[in-house]
Amino acid sequence: MRNKELNLAIFPGDGIGIEIIQEALKVLKVVSVKSSRKFNIQEGIIGGAAYDLAGNPLPEESMELAGKSDAVLLGAVGGPKWENLDYKLRPERALLGLRKQLGLFANLRPVVVFDSLIDTSTLKSEIIRNINIMIVRELTGDVYFGTPRGVHVENGNRIGINTMIYSEEEIRRIAKVAFEIAQKRGKNLVSVDKANVLESTQLWRDVVTEVSADFPDVTLRHMYVDNCAMQLIRNPLQFDVILTTNMFGDILSDEASMLTGSIGMLPSASLGRTKAMYEPIHGSAPDIAGKNIANPLAAILSVALMLRVSFDMPKEAEMIEKAVTDVLEKGLRTPDICQGGTKIVSTETMGEAVVEKLKEIMP
């Protein structure tokens, strides 16, 4: 990867996606200049924006662009404007389509708390200090994609149906990813299911246990999802790596994000065998879109994650993270992470502060 030109597809999407991706790109530009790596950046349309322009939330050209890129950087999709569309045309469908068609079955959501944001969290500081959790969420299966699905009428009664389904192959491949990650971290893996009620997750539990035989150095615990939701608030420091299903991972990662102070801080990586996509875990936040107040740090940290995981540039990734840490230590805050004694700044000012710091510390 080192000498190759890097092909990057950018999809800002909807709402605050547009503002935060702009800041992320400024950061990437500094990296490109300083490291002399060439990024071929091509921008595509996706989500509600694509529906408005092309009548399709995931136009073929966008899918093609994503398919031929080394990595995709995405902002966010969705908004009230498109909420009444048929499911097939909704912005969220584009995201699910990208994940599925690129084969991005492993979603990594690192939950790390920055020391300077300890008091921003709604939880007590002693509960969250030093949190460092990696949530490994299965991303292309489960009730998100299972069939049959839909709403139909039986004897004048409307019936809504979705199907929670996992094959052992799907479970095995995501379990391997999680065990390998755990091996490189604290060697402590919690697999989350609802095996006391749902057969598909009893299979999950069985297969994860089978895979664990190949990773004797990793301690495996199984936990029901309701208990995990409670434990995340009660004692989050017990967690190193959490492995879970698509649906449970969606819910638990939003919950876990609040340990860090704001959902506006968390990046994510979605990985397949060959493709990768990076995005903040937050949504398009239509209520604050276009106001220049959104937190761009999750998008900026997504760039760091991309450099580390897809482009073999760990030093550059670390420097972006260091610049973010520094800017937070200086007291700069977007409204979502503001507490007493700190300075509220705009999306742009926050992005530029990271850029300035990065320019200063990158050789």
Q: What are the catalytic residues? A: 144, 194, 226, 250, 254
Task: Tell me the closest approach of the beta carbon of residue 254 to Mg ion, in angstroms.
Answer: 5
Instruction: Give the C-alpha separation, 177 to 183, whole Å.
Output: 10
Q: Total residues contacting Mg ion (rule CB under 5 A)?
A: 1
Nearer to ligand IPM, 95 or 323 (CB): 95
CA 249 to chain centre: 11
Residue nearest to Mg ion (CB): 250
Nearer to ligand IPM, 17 or 283 (CB): 283
What Å distances lie between residue 153 and 16, 84, 160, 161, CA to CA? Answer: 38, 20, 9, 11
Residue 116 near residue 329, CB atoms below 8 Å: yes
Name which of residues 222 to 281 contact Mg ion (CB under 5 A).
250
Task: Tell me the closest approach of the beta carbon of residue 13 to ligand IPM, in angstroms.
Answer: 10
> Residue 95 binds which one of Mg ion, ligand IPM, none, with CB within 5 to 8 A depending on kind?
ligand IPM
Nearer to Mg ion, 179 or 248 (CB): 248
Q: By CB under 6 A, name the binding residues for ligand IPM.
A: 78, 92, 95, 250, 281, 283
Ramachandran region, residue 144 (left: φ > 0; alpha: ψ -120 to 50; beta: rest): alpha
Residue 263 near residue 282, CB atoms below 8 Å: yes
| Torsion, CA 79, CA 141, CA 178, CA 176, rounded to 10 | -150
Task: Tell me the closest approach of the beta carbon of residue 279 to ligand IPM, in angstroms.
Answer: 7
Task: Tell me the closest approach of the beta carbon of residue 322 to ligand IPM, in angstroms.
Answer: 27
Nearer to ligand IPM, 236 or 267 (CB): 267
Nearer to ligand IPM, 58 or 281 (CB): 281
Residue type, 97: G
Ramachandran region, residue 201 (left: φ > 0; alpha: ψ -120 to 50; beta: rest): alpha
Q: Which residue reads 């009664």 in tokens?
A: 157
> Residue 92 binds which one of ligand IPM, Mg ion, none, with CB within 5 to 8 A depending on kind?
ligand IPM
What Å distances lie between residue 139 and 10, 99, 104, CA to CA? Answer: 20, 7, 7
3-state helix, strand, coil in the chain (%, to 5): 50, 20, 30
Task: Tell me the closest approach of the beta carbon of residue 88 to ligand IPM, in angstroms.
Answer: 14
**Residues of the shown chain interacting with Mg ion in the complex, contacts defined by CB under 5 A:** 250
